[in-house]
């Protein structure tokens, strides 16, 4: 099935060169059948050091540092063009490596990457400081301005659920800001970022501007610990996010974190069910539930509860489950044996602690890591199904009786990444949007990130916002220049 895929080299890309790093190799698997598709170096601290030094030299290099903003913009557009030209290969690589349906990777993941580079290309020429008047000095006595300077070397660490998209969410603004990057893709899904490195090379970025270091958590830790890195941009688990914060406490390098979620989908009694039911189903199960902002807690009015649950279960069972490279698949496997085992352990302990299994709950086949779309029901806010991120195709449904109770229920989470609301009442929509503790609230729609719209978490879902103009706060430092005019 994968004969027409040309895999990129399984090597680090540092200072414009493909190179090994470390003595250990990490096998990489196809989650649709468990077969090994390659192996990557588990790069050691010395290799990370080489990459960070290359990125530092790249940052100091006048060919990058002094490049006219519109020349940087042109480079980003050239990269976007190359992604378009290589879209089919990129989508296939992503589907092979991650397991996600090609129907999504070819229409969503890869086109989103092109859009992100094009959108951020436009920002290159719009990042400026301001001229200011000091408040305590005589008018006209000083010339004061701010400069917005690229923060320097960015260490980007990304997960496996959207390997290319989440990498590009960091790369596009970091490069637009004039930073240089050392990126570590997840060890489970390294290949689309390696293919991107080939395209960066072809696009003609100066060497050292973009570096890929392969490896596992130990490699990520070496990036976090490296004193030459100015900023860490991390997407992944809340546990690792917290450990990164502890690690950077010794040098206070800048950090942004996009972490987990347990986002509510709220169906109001007046909702248009022909919108709400397929919407709630997609919010929970697309990408096999491996989306940080998936709508994994469904709140439905008690009097429509059974009807809504049956509707969601029906809609979910209509998704064809199969290997990512099969063009008819709508749901792929979860990423790994370990992830699958963890999901089943959580389903079991939720049921043992009183949740009921409405539908699904079983593995499909015995090759690959396919799990049936699963619905658990609980009204116990201490049940793991209510509290914990499963990161798989599992939806937890809870009935509600009145609207005051609803907001408290929806906000009863240590996370606060997103929320989905389905209602036909304008006032209810805006009132809920204001009360929900979530970085993004979708109303009568779901799962639609946009490069111009800030995205990030309240509470333990993270620090900082990606996308939109807001993201530049994290890739630029503000410098104030105060000059006496001598009068």
Q: Between 160 and 169, whose beta carbon lies closer to Mn ion?
A: 160
For the question of residue 258 being annotated catalytic, the response is yes
Query: Residue 113 has which token pair?
Result: 């990457």
Q: Minimum distance between the CB of residue 188 and Mn ion, rounded to whole angstroms? A: 5
SS3 for 199?
helix
The secondary element (H helix, E strand) that includes residue 407 is helix 403-410
Contact pick of 73, 97, 388, 466 for Mn ion (by CB under 5 A): 97
187 near Mn ion, rule: CB under 5 A:
no
C-beta of residue 284 within 8 angstroms of C-beta of residue 296 = yes
**Interacting partner of 240 out of ligand NAD, Mn ion, none (Cβ under 5 to 8 A depending on kind):** ligand NAD
Q: Minimum distance between the CB of residue 390 and ligand NAD, rounded to whole angstroms? A: 8
* Interatomic CA distance for residues 94 and 28, integer angstroms: 13
Can you give the length of the chain in residues? 487
Q: Between 109 and 187, whose beta carbon lies closer to ligand NAD?
A: 187
Single out the catalytic residue among 42, 73, 292, 466.
292
SS3 for 263?
strand
For the question of residue 292 being annotated catalytic, the response is yes
**Interacting partner of 237 out of Mn ion, ligand NAD, none (Cβ under 5 to 8 A depending on kind):** ligand NAD
Binding segment for Mn ion (CB under 5 A), chosen from 80-88, 96-104, 222-230, 348-356, is: 96-104
Measured at the alpha carbon of residue 381, what is the angle toward residues 425 and 409, in degrees to the nearest 5? 20
Q: Between 189 and 378, whose beta carbon lies closer to Mn ion?
A: 189
What's the start-to-end Cα distance of the chain, in Å?
A: 77
Q: Minimum distance between the CB of residue 292 and ligand NAD, rounded to whole angstroms? A: 3
Which 188-217 residues touch Mn ion, going by CB under 5 A? 188-189
**Interacting partner of 97 out of Mn ion, ligand NAD, none (Cβ under 5 to 8 A depending on kind):** Mn ion
Q: 391: phi > 0 → left, psi -120 to 50 → alpha, else beta; which?
A: left
C-beta of residue 464 within 8 angstroms of C-beta of residue 456 = yes
- 266: which strand partners? 299, 421
SS3 for 329?
coil
* Interatomic CA distance for residues 467 and 457, integer angstroms: 13
Single out the catalytic residue among 73, 94, 187, 258.
258
**Interacting partner of 220 out of ligand NAD, Mn ion, none (Cβ under 5 to 8 A depending on kind):** ligand NAD
**Interacting partner of 154 out of ligand NAD, Mn ion, none (Cβ under 5 to 8 A depending on kind):** none
Q: Between 159 and 208, whose beta carbon lies closer to ligand NAD?
A: 159
Q: Which residues bind Mn ion (CB under 5 A)?
A: 97, 188-189
List, by residue number, the catalytic residues.
258, 292
């Amino acid at each position: 099935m994968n004969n027409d895929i040309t895999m990129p080299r399984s090597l680090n890309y540092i200072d414009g060169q493909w190179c090994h790093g470390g003595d250990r190799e990490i096998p990489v698997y196809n989650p649709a059948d468990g077969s090994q598709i390659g192996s990557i170096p588990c790069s050691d601290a010395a290799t990370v050091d080489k990459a960070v030094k290359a990125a530092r030299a790249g940052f100091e290099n006048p060919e990058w540092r002094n490049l006219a903003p519109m020349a940087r913009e042109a480079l980003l557009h050239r990269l976007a063009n190359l992604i378009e030209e290589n879209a089919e290969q990129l989508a296939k690589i992503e589907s092979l490596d991650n397991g996600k349906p090609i129907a999504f990777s070819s229409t969503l993941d890869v086109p989103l990457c092109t859009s992100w580079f094009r959108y951020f290309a436009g920002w290159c020429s719009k990042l400026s400081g301001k001229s200011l008047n000091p408040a305590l000095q005589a008018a006209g006595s000083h010339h004061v301005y701010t400069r917005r300077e690229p923060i320097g070397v960015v260490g980007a660490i990304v997960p496996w659920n959207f390997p290319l998209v989440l990498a590009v969410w960091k790369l596009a603004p970091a490069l637009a800001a004039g930073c240089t990057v050392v990126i570590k893709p997840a060890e489970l899904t390294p290949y689309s970022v390696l293919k991107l490195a080939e395209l960066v090379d072809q696009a003609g970025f100066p060497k050292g501007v973009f570096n890929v270091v392969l490896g596992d958590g130990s490699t990520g830790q070496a990036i976090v610990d490296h004193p030459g890195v100015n900023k860490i941009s991390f997407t992944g688990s809340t546990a690792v996010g917290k450990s990164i914060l502890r690690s950077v406490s010794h040098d206070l390098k800048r950090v942004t974190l996009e972490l987990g979620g347990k986002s509510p989908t709220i169906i109001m009694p007046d909702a248009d069910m022909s919108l709400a039911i397929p919407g709630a189903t997609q919010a929970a199960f697309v990408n096999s539930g491996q989306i940080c902002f998936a709508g994994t807690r469904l709140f439905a009015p008690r009097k429509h509860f059974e009807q809504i649950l049956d509707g969601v279960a029906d809609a979910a069972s209509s998704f064809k489950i199969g290997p990512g490279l099969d063009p008819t698949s709508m749901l792929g496997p979860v990423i790994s044996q370990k992830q699958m085992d963890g999901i089943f352990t959580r389903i079991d302990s939720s049921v043992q602690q009183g949740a009921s299994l409405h539908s699904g709950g079983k593995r499909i086949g015995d090759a690959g890591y396919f799990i049936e779309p699963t619905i658990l029901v609980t009204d116990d806010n201490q049940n793991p199904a209510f509290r914990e991120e499963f990161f798989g195709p599992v939806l937890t449904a809870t009935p509600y009786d009145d609207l005051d109770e609803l907001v408290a229920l929806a906000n009863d989470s240590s996370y606060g990444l997103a929320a989905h609301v389905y209602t036909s009442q304008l006032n209810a929509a805006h009132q809920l949007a204001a009360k929900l503790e979530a970085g993004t609230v979708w109303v009568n729609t779901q799962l639609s990130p946009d490069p111009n719209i800030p995205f990030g978490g309240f509470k333990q879902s993270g620090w900082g916002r990606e996308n939109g103009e807001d993201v530049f706060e994290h890739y630029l430092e503000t410098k104030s220049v105060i000059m006496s005019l001598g009068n």
